Chains A and B, each alone.
Chain A
Amino acid sequence: MILLVAILAGLAVGLFIARLKKRPWTVPPLHKPWLVIIAFLPQFFTLYLPGTRTWVKDDLAAAGLIVSLALLLVFCWFNRRLSGVWLLALGLACNLLVIAANGGFMPISPQTASRIVLPEILATYGNGDRFGTKDILLPPEQTRLIWLSDLFLPPKGFPYQVAFSPGDVFVAAGAFWLMLTQGKTLKATKIRMVKDRE
């Protein structure tokens, strides 16, 4: 949800700037977009689709998530020349690192989790239990690379409470930048500006 907002915000600002400059906005020219669909399939079946996620064992779901993230990193390599993709790749790499270091799921501390679910629900979970879609409930002393885990929260009283990682911040920033610049590099934009002047 929070990441989709980044795409929409990038699109809105990109459209606004394009209109100001009287230029058409074009979708970023992604290379091998089918690779994303293939990469997402393991997550779709093991984490999202209710019919299959219930009978998939945690080990298989963890392996599926890591394979999926690795394939997305390959997609980033094919699109490395598009602006914003390096931010997407950085965020993805951060999440992949912390997920791989903690048994295949994103760690979240009980303290952070207490802000996003009711205490009576949280009380039914123990250390090491899967929590939400991609998370695992782990106390800070048992978490590897804790500074890359889901440790950020919006201010108390904010209507939408969500735990997110530094990797998520980079992914959101990358998606925003990619949509804003339409994937064009700074160099390409400068060349275009010079041509426009001529």
Chain B
Amino acid sequence: MKNQISKLFVFTTKINRQHIQVAFAFLALVLFVLGAGAPDDGGGVLPR
């Protein structure tokens, strides 16, 4: 248990500013295509 906690601590210290920037850029790109595109696969189309 103690070993796992120390591993988790090491992992979290490795998350630096660059990782956050990469994740943020990916999020932006995903949101961009979701926002800009308008395909329709019929998902969520319910009887009125």
Contact of B40 among A36, A40, A135 (CB under 8 A): A135
Q: Using Cβ atoms and an 8 Å threshold, which residues of chain B touch A116?
A: 40-42, 45
- What separation, in Å, do the CA atoms of A163 and B42 have in the docked complex? 8
Verify B45–A117 contact, CB threshold 8 A.
Answer: yes
Task: Indicate whether B32 reaches chain A with its CB closer than 8 angstroms.
Answer: yes
The verdict on A3 contacting B42 (CB below 8 Å), with A33-B28, A75-B32 known, is no
How many A-B contacts at CB < 8 Å in the complex?
A: 132
Per DSSP, are chain B's interface residues mostly helix, strand or loop, or mixed? helix
Is A172 close to B, CB under 8 A?
yes
Q: Give the distance to chain B from A78, nearest Cβ to Cβ, in Å.
A: 12
Query: In the complex the two chains form, what is the Cα distance from A75 to B35 in whole Å?
Result: 12
B8 contacts chain A at the CB level, 8 A cutoff: no
Quote the shortest CB–CB distance from A11 to chain B (angstroms): 9
Chain B residues positioned under 8 Å from A124 (CB to CB):
47-48
Q: A28-B29, A30-B25 are in contact. Are A72 and B40 (CB under 8 A)?
A: no
- Give residues 11-48 of B contacting A (CB, 8 Å): 21-22, 24-48
- Which chain B residues lie closer than 8 Å to A127 at the CB level? none
Question: Once the chains bind, are A68 and B35 in contact (CB under 8 Å)?
Answer: yes
Known A-B contacts A36-B32, A88-B32, A121-B47; the reply to A150 vs B39 at CB < 8 A is yes
Give which listed residue, A1, A72, A106, contacts B35 with CB less than 8 A: A72
